[in-house]
Amino acid sequence: MINYSKKDILSVLNAKGSDIIKFMAEAKQYRKNNLITYSKNIFIPLTEICRNDCGYCNFKKNPDDPEAIILKTKDEVLNDLKIAEKYGCKEALFTFGEDADENEAVLKRLNEFGYDNIVDYTYDICKMTLDETNLLPHSNGGNFSYDALKKLKEVNASMGLMLENSSKRLMQLPAHKKSPGKNPELRLDTISNAGKLKIPYTTGILIGIGETKEEIVESLFKIREIFDKYGHIQEIIIQNFTSTPNIEMCDWPEPSLLDMIRTVTAATLLFSDTDVSIQVPPNLNYDTAQIFLLCGADDWGGVSPVSQDYVNPTSPWPTLDVLTELTEDAGFNLVERLCIYEKYINDEWLNDTLLEKSTNLLKHQ
């Protein structure tokens, strides 16, 4: 049962002065424990080619770029995974640009490897991960069809897709005007289909790309509606736009610290009667990350000791020692989790292979 109306959540986003402190205190009372979680992962981009061309993107590369990852080989991926094993990583985060196989260069490479599409290749990469390493796959490659999700579910402990925002108006702005895959109807369909298939899922919103506060509210409520229907959303990311020199939106203003505080607080309150985690990426908020723990955030997301954040390459991860220090200084305890949250580690959500592997990893956390 939702305890807050859209009007209530909008009032949080519009709060000023002492009202901000009041809402933060209200959010804090819903904290169930003193734990802040993170997943130790390796970030592996299978390809950096994407059909979308978002105004804030630091991930996509042109196929003509000699440094672009057109398609990693299985041997390259396995080598990366074996390095991650040595560092105790338990999550293999596989990312790739949406519908990358529509690009001639990617399709040619897929054909050379004996594949017709990126989904089948990703399936085999994830199966290799399960068969030959101690890591659990988590794939995030944009929108997928129901059938593609159904296939990938068999070899992924969890999956993810950022909603970013539910407003179609943003398709006319620099953020998404050249990105057909950012149509919120497509994204909501993908998130819903993941729910129908019982895939433990990560989603979230991106703030600072031209949205209104009302559109933030609508986006959070869309996520809440899907969660209430399927129960598969394990965490919600509140991600802030960050400006870098080589993007179209390089002169676009970043959201303020108070914008982030209000949004994290609002999300915490909206999901206060659930066990959905609220996540804030620490590498995008290096100097301010601690304050979000006081707004209700309880997860740092994936943090890698071996790979960069390819989506945000100019924002390095804090080391685990630094992350521990930041967390404990704010009065909390840092604990490692798997990419799949414990409540989903059962035969309702996982097949036998994934259940056995997840259970064994959980025992040795």
Tokens read off for 334 = 């840092």
Nearest residue to 106 (alpha-carbon basis) of 59, 49, 148: 49
Residues 6+ apart with CB under 8 A from 3: 269, 272, 273
Q: Establish whether 54 is an annotated binding residue.
A: yes
As a whole number of Å, the CA-based R_g of the chain is 19
To the question of whether residue 50 is assigned a binding role by annotation, the answer is yes
Closest residue by Cα to residue 261 from 240, 275, 236: 240
pLDDT tens sequence across 96-119: 989 999 999 999 999 999 999 999
Q: Give the per-residue pLDDT at 365.
A: 75
CA distance 239 to 248: 19
How many Å apart are CA 302 and CA 42, to the nearest integer?
Answer: 8
- Three-state DSSP class for 203? strand
Q: What is the pTM of this model?
A: 0.96
- Calculate ∠ Cα 265-271-273, nearest 5°: 125
List the one residue out of 309, 350, 353, 322 whose CA is nearest residue 41.
309
Q: What is the dihedral of CA 42, 47, 49, 50, to 10 degrees?
A: -60
Neighbours of 211 (CB within 10 A): 23
pLDDT tens-digit map of 247-299: 999 999 999 999 999 999 999 999 999 999 999 999 889 889 999 999 999 99
Tokens (6 digits) for 261: 């505080």
pLDDT at 318: 87
Low-confidence ranges of the chain (pLDDT < 70): none
Predicted confidence at residue 3, as pLDDT, reads 87
* Residue entry with tokens 């200084």: 329
Q: Return the exposure string of 27-66: e unless at least 16 CB atoms fall within 10 Å of the residue's CB, then b.
A: beeebeeeebbbbbbbbbbbbbbbbbebbbbbbbbebeee
Comparing C-alpha atoms, which of 252, 149, 136 is closest to residue 192?
A: 149
Question: What domains does the chain contain, in order, with CATH numbers?
Answer: 6-363 (3.20.20.70)
How deeply is 3 buried, as exposed, middle or buried, from its count of CB atoms within 10 A (0-12, 13-18, 19+)? exposed
Nearest to 299 by CA among 21, 38, 20: 38
